[in-house]
A and B are shown apart, each in its own frame.
Chain A
């Protein structure tokens, strides 16, 4: 219970720090919005042959925006070595990871809450396959993205070329998440037979579970001085 309280406290601290600087949210939101707007000008949504591309466009916009946020999320911890201060606190050091992942997830969900409706409006899309399944895919995909991204973000933050290193490390590991959410979104947008894409939910859930447990074993080694 104390661990959960500390996770919430540290995530709240991250959100307060972000609310004062608006660095992450501004970059994430503007980037995702630009991608959606550019594609809305470049592609004619009425043409049926471009419709299968839309899920890919949507998730590339969201995940690339998310990487911008992840790249900066550990910067505040390193500014005055505040991370060392957290390492001195008598708590399991993975607490810092779970708090950071929670705040990153909330920022990503906030960006998605604005960008996804705009995507449907600007690209003239409808969702015949069911909103609840789409929301479940967003949640599972975003959780997997932030868990894997926060772990690798911590690793990359300790290096000199961290901002370049993170996407290089992260995207190969994210392949199952990207495939899963794109396949599910495509199934829902094009109203395909659920038997062809429902199993991707199981894969996303398994991925999330792995990256939920892995930091318990790895995070302390990742942030070691």
Chain B
């Protein structure tokens, strides 16, 4: 039986005396796209950073592709991450940043890969400009290219639609469809349930509230507009998980 691409096992996180996450369990299969939803302060970004191995959980374990994360750095080769900061050296150009990441990940023909990705995210014309001169939306596109530079099997996206225009949202939606078809697992933290006016391209949604996973649903393909928004509002509006 194939292992899930991501398995979070009883994850708890406490910062100081403040509990952020409490006994969270989540599995994401290969090719599956999961939306991690919840109100501000629910612990979504913290959970994503733990899954990305940037943060250590206070208790619990993270498994990536069936291997425990944290023991062996090579596990991180399977993960691509977009976070709210875009993780670039601002005085380097977009091409230099992508080439640097490609070389660090051991991607052959790093320069060619950087050029392909710049083309993919629609930044080929601006590839030789320093990232410092980029708008927030352009940086967000570039962050997506960085996350894909080593063709990861697991993509973790924290608010990836931030500052993207209509065309950028469509680009990301199309990309998520293609990556899922190729077997890439995706976890997306977002408040944009209809990015660019289209339904969020996910197969499953889970709801995190006050550090606990409180609900989840399989998202039907070809659902009517606003389906996921209604599901989310019904749960959050009902005060689920509060008090």
Contacts and interface: CB of A to CB of B under 8 A. Distances in A.
Given A16-B92, A225-B49, A80 B85 contact: yes
Interface in B68-82: 73-77, 79, 81
A88 B89 contact: no
Interface centre among A2, A80, A84 (most CB of B within 10 A): A80
Given A17-B92, A20-B91, A76-B91, A88 B85 contact: no
B75 A90 contact: yes
B106 A88 contact: no
A13 B100 contact: yes
Contacts of B91: 17, 20-21, 76
Interface in A1-42: 2, 6, 9-10, 13, 16-17, 20-21
Counting contact residues on chain A (CB < 8 A from B), the size range is 20 to 34
B73 A90 contact: yes
Given A91-B73, A224-B56, A225-B55, A9 B104 contact: yes
B19 to A, nearest CB: 17
Contacts of A16: 92, 96
Given A2-B106, A85-B87, A90-B75, A13 B52 contact: no
A85 B101 contact: yes
Interface string B97-121: 0001101111000000000000000
A89 interface: yes
B11 to A, nearest CB: 15
Contacts of A132: none
B74 to A, nearest CB: 5
A20 B87 CA distance: 19
A160 interface: no
Contacts of B96: 16
A80 B86 contact: yes
Counting contact residues on chain B (CB < 8 A from A), the size range is 20 to 34
A47 interface: no
A86 B52 CA distance: 12
Interface in A67-117: 76, 79-82, 84-93
Contacts of B88: 80, 82, 85
Contacts of A87: 53-54
A90 B55 contact: no
A154 B32 CA distance: 38
B142 to A, nearest CB: 11
Contacts of B77: 90
Interface string A196-224: 00000000000000000000000000001
Nearest to A12: B100
A84 B85 contact: yes
Contacts of B163: none
Contacts of A17: 89, 91-92
Given A80-B90, A85-B87, A88-B81, 17 more contacts: A6-B104, A9-B100, A9-B103, A13-B100, A16-B96, A17-B89, A21-B91, A80-B131, A82-B87, A84-B83, A85-B101, A86-B104, A87-B54, A88-B79, A90-B74, A93-B73, A225-B49
7 contacts: A80-B85, A84-B83, A85-B101, A90-B73, A90-B105, A91-B104, A225-B54
